[in-house]
Structure 1
Amino acid sequence: MTLPLALSIGDPAGIGPELAAAAWCLRAAESLPHFFVVGSARLVEAAARRRGLNIPICAVKSPDEVAGCFADALPVLDIGDLDYTPGEPCDAGATLALDALSSATGLVRSGAASALITGPIAKSRLARIGFDYPGQTEYVAQACGISPENAVMMLAGPSLRVVPITVHVALRAVPDLLSTELIRNRAAITAAALTRDYGIANPRLAVAGLNPHAGEDGRMGREDADIVAPAVALLREAGINAFGPLPPDTMFHAEARKTYDVAICMYHDQALIPMKALDFDEGVNVTLGLPIIRTSPDHGTAFAIAGTGTARVGPTVAALRMAGECALRRAGL
């Protein structure tokens, strides 16, 4: 790969900066592609030292310089400065996080970097400085000219891939938000992305029911028969290998997982509970349907343990590796 990956620093008071440094230390052992951090060189160096990592930092002015220094130092595109105070988020830190997200997104969109990996942010802090998006996914989608409805969240790990049709909403709101068209659209985007970025020629989509036993012929709710099943039929008419609605409680054991490439789930916890039970330390949040590749470690800022050296680097390594693999496929390599 000739173009490096861009990793935005996330909230500087969280675990993002130290995990960026820890991931660079594993670059050879994990065969990681070249990447650079967008943020503050001095802050990343301080976060690394606090974790017990005495690593060299290379401040770069453009992604073109990354290949020349990556083997010997962690490249950081220095866009600002801030004192490193783990576990104490502030408005200045939120501003740096937003600037890093904006800069990294722009570099990937312009073709200067091959993929975007976003460090964890504190949405409440960003809201204080005027960030009016539900999260980074919606921000990146709009920056790419994509409607948030067409930006699909997939969680992926070694054992399982899941897509929640509805995401950060109250459980009581889910039945009213579900529609045949919403399920069909997001499942179709998922199928296309699995082919384009994951090399699966004919992806198999297992579609979960909303209700226990997938409604049991209407005795436990009509949503599965009236909303989910018609969406599956439309997907199959379009040539997509989808099947369901399936009883959610029998979809995630080892033998069942062998029969599909992704589980299309109706709500957040239906998807994320099995995902995190199986692949907690290697889960990656991927945004499908974008013209760029975007991944993120599947965890938050973890302010409570920032700077203690106990945060696990596995999700950051997995997010970098997956972004690199997808970038290679898009490049035809």
Structure 2
Amino acid sequence: MSGASIRAPYDNPMDRHLATTSASPTLVTGAAGFIGFHVVRKLLQRGAAVVGVDNLNAYYDPALKEARLALLRGADGFSFHQIDLSQRDATARLFAETRPETVIHLAAQAGVRYSLTHPESYVDSNLVGFGNVLEGCRHNGTQHLVYASSSSVYGANTHMPFSVHHNVDHPVSLYAATKKANELMAHCYSHLYGLATTGLRFFTVYGPWGRPDMALFKFTRAILAGEPIDVYNNGNMRRDFTYVDDVAEGVVRTAALTASANPAWGGDAPDPATSAAPYRLYNIGNTEPVDLMTMIGVLERALGREAQKRYLPIQPGDVPATWADVDALVQDTGYRPATPLEDGIAAFVAWYRDYYRA
């Protein structure tokens, strides 16, 4: 892909920030991952120089990661490093060499269910790796760290919609606990060292180039193969499905808006989403939770096939419903995710059929 083909005009005054405020590149970890790939493309379209980082591990098919990366290699302003961020010395060298002013940290061990059987992967990637990133930012002049949290942090909360102003102290999976820990670790660095940090809680991201371990991808593969799909909690699930391009737009806009202290913050009634330090949290969701059976119906129509359904109990670590309150995101960035599920699933199915020749 040529540099000319990947660039596009600025569509918002905030877009210009990452391209013009500094000669240093924006560092994006997890650049070959689902969300990271889309974020890098969007940054390059806006004229930013990007250093991409990924360890290209085998949690799911590395060929899919390599295919994403192939679309980025050769683009003007993009360079790539294959690094495991849990390796302290390698991460320190990366930061010392690139000295990024903005870091968008999307690398992590994902997946709720995998955390039930492979907890060590979450400790290494999500705790040790995140600590190394924080140290890299601290020692190399980084002005703003944006990092991926998750709607999973809401855990046992039942008050809907989920708001960043709610306390989230009861995670129900180790994955969620590591994401909550990331928010706490980031706050410490904001408080102690003045590092501006912004945490983004993503809600059920889907779309082209998606992850094979997620429901939409698994359902599509099974339906086209004539195999049954597993429908957990007997179909009584609701998710705030959020199209990946909406998520990437939210990431880029928040990265351009360096977190600042909340002058009204007080320890007697602390707001979890802000701080007296330069610290912010945002939800990025579509704000329209959809029943799982409705989503399956949309997918069936897009594929032109009916799914064989195998109804099962809810799995450990899962929550019955998610629903994002994005008022803070809208207020601070002027952006609200809004891609209809029908459009997003149609785009995913078109990509899937093309990529897998299905």
- TM-score when normalising by structure 2: 0.33
- TM-score when normalising by structure 1: 0.35
Higher relative contact order (CA 8 A, sep 6+): 1
